[in-house]
Amino acid sequence: MKFSTRLDKLAPYPFVEISRIIAEKRAAGADVVTFGIGDPDIPTPQPIIERLLTASQDPPNHRYPETDGLPELRRAISYWYEKRFDIKLDPDTEVLPLIGAKEGIGHVAFCFLDPGDLALVPDPAYPVYGVGTMFAGAESHIMPLRESNGWLPDLNEIPQDVARSAKVMWVNYPNNPTSAVASVEDLAGITAYCRQNDIALLHDAAYSEVGYHGYKAASSMQIEGSRDVGIEFHSLSKTYNMTGWRIGMAVGNAAMIKALFQIKANLDSGIPQAVQEMAMEALTGPQDCVDDNVKIYQKRRDRVVKALGSMGLTVPTPEASLYIWAPVPDGYTSAGFAAKLLEDIDIVVTPGSSYGKYGEGYIRLSLTTPDEQIEKGCQRLESWQIPSP
């Protein structure tokens, strides 16, 4: 068999490997507590499930959906954006439903990148930006995210010739894995940079609705002129506990949305319509479930920050996202410390290095684990003597 070279370039997707190790440990009888993948443990709200049950009985929903989604869904997305961010989007030209944000993020690379082209990709980051770039045959120019710059890209660091030739820039705030947030001014600076250099701005806002103590993340679409250069990716996954249903959206620049639609129309046949109805229910129904979720995550966040603090690891309390981004003790690598936690106390965390080389020196702990597991995990952390590396 002659496989493609792109397969050789792929590292194993981090969570596939972690899931394998957890399964192995559990099979051997270990009581594993996982702070690994960001996948809400809280069920999808009941009204959204009820809508699925009804929608599943409707025969038109048994047929192929349209790739651009039900018009009612595109209108529901516009409605949500207007209510949440006070911006008006044309549901026919500026909105495109996706089979989860990940699908659109992966495919959008094909809209802009030809072999040999350049993409500006943050590091550490959600792996799909770089992988999509590689699948399109293009190169990533890494934008290091550092604590000293609030985990924002330092645009002054990008060489002039790279800025001139790059075709896209990826950003993601609130950020996975660092849990950093970007202010309106930060997003405005990034937008201005992309306009100046004719770079398509791709903002991933998957965590915009997970903000603590009333923190409300901005949308890149709120920035003046953003629709000249950019689109924003969103997901129902983290906001409404819908990771398993696979639905998200892209919104913004009409030409970019059309390009993504063209790629998708040749690769997929849309989102199951009953799932589209679930999204309509989620986006237009009461939003109390979102606040209820955030309250649960906030308690877990505080518990985990406290446990890490008592281990002597100083971690800032995140304002948003589902993650705690913690430095590893001196002398450890990310992977080494994660392995130690698993070996000694059956605790799973994600090594920062699986998000890129600038993630080295950190681990990520996800808050999407039931309260009693969080408590058990924190107690184990607190009573553990960190061995010398």
Q: How far is the CB of 329 from ligand PLP (least distance, A)?
A: 26
Site string for ligand PLP, 109-138 (x = CB under 6 A): -----------------x------------
Burial class (CB in 10 A: 0-12, 13-18, 19+), 7: exposed
The residue from 61, 78, 176, 369 that contacts ligand PLP (CB under 6 A) is 176
Q: How far is the CB of 13 from ligand PLP (least distance, A)?
A: 13
CA angle 8, 357, 109 (to 5 degrees): 55
Sequence-ordered list of residues with C-beta below 8 angstroms from that of 330, at least 6 positions apart, any chain: 389
The residue from 33, 109, 201, 206 that contacts ligand PLP (CB under 6 A) is 206
Q: Are 78 and 89 in contact (CB under 8 A)?
A: yes
Q: According to the binding rule CB under 6 A, does residue 67 interact with ligand PLP?
A: no
Q: How far is the CB of 129 from ligand PLP (least distance, A)?
A: 9
29 Rama sector, left if φ>0, alpha if ψ -120 to 50, beta otherwise? left
Stretch that binds ligand PLP, among 51-59, 97-105, 131-139, 307-315 (CB under 6 A): 97-105
The residue from 34, 78, 220, 235 that contacts ligand PLP (CB under 6 A) is 235
Q: According to the binding rule CB under 6 A, does residue 241 interact with ligand PLP?
A: no
Q: According to the binding rule CB under 6 A, does residue 220 interact with ligand PLP?
A: no
Q: According to the binding rule CB under 6 A, does residue 237 interact with ligand PLP?
A: yes
Residue in the shown chain whose Cβ atom is closest to ligand PLP = 100
The residue from 51, 74, 102, 227 that contacts ligand PLP (CB under 6 A) is 102
Q: According to the binding rule CB under 6 A, does residue 251 interact with ligand PLP?
A: no
The residue from 40, 248, 318, 377 that contacts ligand PLP (CB under 6 A) is 248
Q: Are 54 and 280 in contact (CB under 8 A)?
A: no
Q: According to the binding rule CB under 6 A, does residue 204 interact with ligand PLP?
A: yes
Q: According to the binding rule CB under 6 A, does residue 97 interact with ligand PLP?
A: no
Stretch that binds ligand PLP, among 19-27, 95-103, 150-158, 294-302 (CB under 6 A): 95-103
The residue from 34, 78, 172, 178 that contacts ligand PLP (CB under 6 A) is 172
Nearer to ligand PLP, 252 or 311 (CB): 252
The residue from 243, 334, 354, 368 that contacts ligand PLP (CB under 6 A) is 243
Site string for ligand PLP, 287-316 (x = CB under 6 A): ------------------------------
CA distance linking residue 250 with residue 256, whole number of Å = 10
Q: According to the binding rule CB under 6 A, does residue 227 interact with ligand PLP?
A: no
Q: Are 322 and 238 in contact (CB under 8 A)?
A: yes
Picking from 257, 217, 253, the residue whose alpha carbon sits closest to that of residue 238 is 217
The residue from 18, 32, 35, 38 that contacts ligand PLP (CB under 6 A) is 38
CA distance linking residue 351 with residue 75, whole number of Å = 40
Q: Could you give the C-alpha distances from 102 to 90, 134, 233, in angstroms and in order?
A: 23, 15, 9
Burial class (CB in 10 A: 0-12, 13-18, 19+), 24: exposed
Stretch that binds ligand PLP, among 143-151, 236-244, 259-267, 337-345 (CB under 6 A): 236-244
Q: Are 28 and 141 in contact (CB under 8 A)?
A: no
Q: Could you give the C-alpha distances from 52 to 21, 49, 178, 235, 246, in angstroms and in order?
A: 34, 5, 34, 18, 13
Q: How far is the CB of 309 from ligand PLP (least distance, A)?
A: 25
- Positions in the binding site for ligand PLP (CB under 6 A): 38, 100-102, 126, 172, 176, 204, 206, 235, 237-238, 243, 248
